């Protein structure tokens, strides 16, 4: 593509004010900042339990609900082999890229600058992107006003520049940086207890923040290239079943944070980037992905779900479901979602029981496990002590419950009470 000479002044890294430059360069950015959920658990928690479990380079760690890969990244940085399982396509993609340190940092830097120049040229010459790549069905999946027209045009033109070259080894990393900037810079989204639309932006920078994200990647790849060959595998699929596809007794430890039982639809959190990157194109594909997720909210409960059979004899879970249903009747709540509250509670804990049962064949005798979970009061303010119930289920399946460690507390938006987030620590005796 012909580029005017004045475009060649685009710098890498991009120019920033002196104060911003100092703030950005205070410390090396960790790999897990490439892309992550707002509510992901912190890397130090992974390191703490790796030390506690005495995991070394001779061991292999599993994260069956790996999300955007915090556990896998920390293991790789320490030279420890790891494997993750993730059902959602965009977070599976993010995990794969975050543990792929084989790309040449210089090549990524050089190619990204060329992409940025082409995108800026397209913007300045008035080019319009191909909105049909997303299509009407894709736009219907987005929250209204997720992104304003001007940032939308910039984002799509940048995406076209990234995708312009075939067989580009840098493309996956460039797309991951695009996904992060799309949400954090270009969109109108804000994240609280649930994702929503905040103040609408008339315009927003896209290309330069994307280059800054690439700069962070380049620095991280240079710092961590000595561990590039450490095994980090990410499997796409349902953690309730896919664990059984691993080699028998191949896992020495599990460190993970499954979804919590609440009304948070985890597919909404990543809807914008899922649509733009082509992972979800219509409602049919969205439903297919939801079927592979833990039944943690009413928006992904389907007719025929039967995970509740795994806990049908558990007295505390049955009592909890009964309390939720009685509260619904007392409050005269009749919506379709509210009628599902009691059922989704049983489906959630049944799914965790199914997961723990299938896990037995792949963990070695003596393996230790850490599950980060949180109390919930989303269903008519009925308290769900997730950690205690999960420990009880694990014990009934033959696991030893070593401890339930308080991780942190957070304020319930429903009751204004402090809810406990805990780490359920288990041991498989074999």
Rounded Cα–Cα distance for residues 48 and 401 (Å): 18
pLDDT tens string 169-195: 999 999 999 999 999 999 999 887 778
pLDDT tens string 107-147: 999 999 999 999 999 999 999 999 998 989 999 999 999 99
Q: What is the mean pLDDT of residues 16-37?
A: 46
- What is the pLDDT at residue 225? 83
Q: What is the mean pLDDT of residues 151-169?
A: 93
CB 64 within 8 Å of CB 355: yes
**Within 13 A of 376's CA, how many CA atoms are on the CB side?**
23
Closest by CA to 109, choosing from 217, 1, 209, is 217
pLDDT of 51 over the 90 cut: yes
Q: What is the mean pLDDT of residues 301-312?
A: 95
Confidence band for 427, pLDDT divided at 50, 70 and 90 = very high
Q: Any residues with CB less than 8 A from the CB of 68 and at least 6 apart, and which?
A: 32, 35, 36, 37, 40, 91, 94, 95, 98
The Cβ of residue 221 has, within 10 Å, a number of other Cβ atoms equal to 21
pLDDT of 19 over the 50 cut: no
pLDDT of 4 over the 60 cut: no
For tokens 């990410």, name the residue: 234
Rounded Cα–Cα distance for residues 244 and 230 (Å): 23
pLDDT tens string 345-357: 999 999 999 999 9
Confidence band for 8, pLDDT divided at 50, 70 and 90 = very low
Rounded Cα–Cα distance for residues 292 and 287 (Å): 9
Give the SS3 label for residue 374.
strand
Under CATH, which architecture does the 38-92+229-265+282-427 domain have?
3-Layer(aba) Sandwich (3.40)
Q: Per-domain residue ranges for the chain? A: 5-30+102-227, 38-92+229-265+282-427
Mean per-residue pLDDT over the chain, rounded: 89
Burial class (CB in 10 A: 0-12, 13-18, 19+), 8: exposed
Higher pLDDT, 427 or 17: 427
| Residue 13: cis peptide before it, omega within 30 degrees of 0 | yes
Higher pLDDT, 135 or 21: 135
pLDDT of 7 over the 50 cut: no
CB 146 within 8 Å of CB 5: no
Higher pLDDT, 13 or 246: 246
């Amino acid at each position: 593509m012909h580029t005017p000479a004045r475009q060649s002044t685009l710098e890498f890294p991009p120019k920033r004010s002196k104060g911003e430059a100092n703030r950005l360069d205070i410390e090396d950015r960790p790999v897990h900042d490439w892309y992550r959920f707002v509510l992901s658990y912190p890397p130090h928690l992974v390191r703490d339990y790796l030390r506690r479990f005495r995991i070394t380079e001779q061991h292999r760690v599993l994260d069956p609900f790996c999300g955007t890969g915090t556990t896998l990244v920390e293991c790789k940085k320490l030279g420890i082999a790891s494997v993750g399982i993730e059902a959602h396509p965009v977070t599976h993609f993010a995990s794969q890229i975050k543990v792929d340190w084989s790309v040449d940092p210089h090549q990524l830097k050089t190619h990204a600058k060329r992409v940025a120049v082409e995108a800026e040229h397209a913007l300045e010459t008035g080019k319009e992107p191909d909105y049909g790549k997303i299509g009407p069905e894709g736009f219907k999946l987005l929250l209204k006003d997720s992104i304003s027209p001007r940032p939308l045009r910039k984002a799509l033109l940048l995406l076209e520049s990234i995708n312009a070259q075939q067989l580009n080894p840098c493309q996956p990393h460039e797309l991951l940086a695009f996904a992060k900037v799309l949400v954090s810079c270009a969109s109108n989204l804000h994240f609280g207890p649930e994702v929503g639309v905040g103040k609408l932006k008339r315009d927003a920078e896209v290309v330069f923040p994307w280059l800054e994200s690439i700069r962070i990647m380049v620095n991280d790849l240079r710092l961590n290239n000595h561990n590039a060959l450490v095994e980090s595998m990410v499997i796409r699929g349902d953690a309730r079943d896919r664990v059984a596809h691993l080699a028998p007794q191949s896992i020495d430890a599990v460190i993970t944070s499954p979804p919590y039982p609440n009304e948070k639809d985890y597919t909404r959190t990543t809807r914008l980037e899922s649509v733009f990157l082509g992972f979800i194109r219509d409602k049919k594909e969205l439903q297919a992905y939801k079927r592979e997720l833990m039944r943690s909210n009413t928006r992904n409960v389907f007719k025929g779900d039967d995970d509740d059979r795994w806990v049908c004899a558990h007295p505390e879970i049955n009592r909890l479901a009964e309390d939720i249903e009685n509260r619904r009747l007392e409050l005269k709540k009749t919506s379709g979602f509210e009628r599902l509250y009691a059922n989704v509670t049983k489906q959630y804990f049944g799914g965790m029981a199914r997961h723990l049962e299938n896990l037995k064949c792949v963990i070695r005798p003596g393996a230790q496990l850490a599950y980060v979970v949180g109390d919930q009061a989303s269903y008519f303010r009925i308290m769900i002590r997730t950690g205690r119930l999960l420990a009880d289920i694990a014990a009934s399946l033959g696991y030893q419950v070593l401890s339930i460690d308080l991780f942190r507390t957070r304020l319930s938006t429903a009751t204004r009470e402090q809810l406990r987030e805990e780490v359920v620590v288990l041991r498989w005796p074999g």
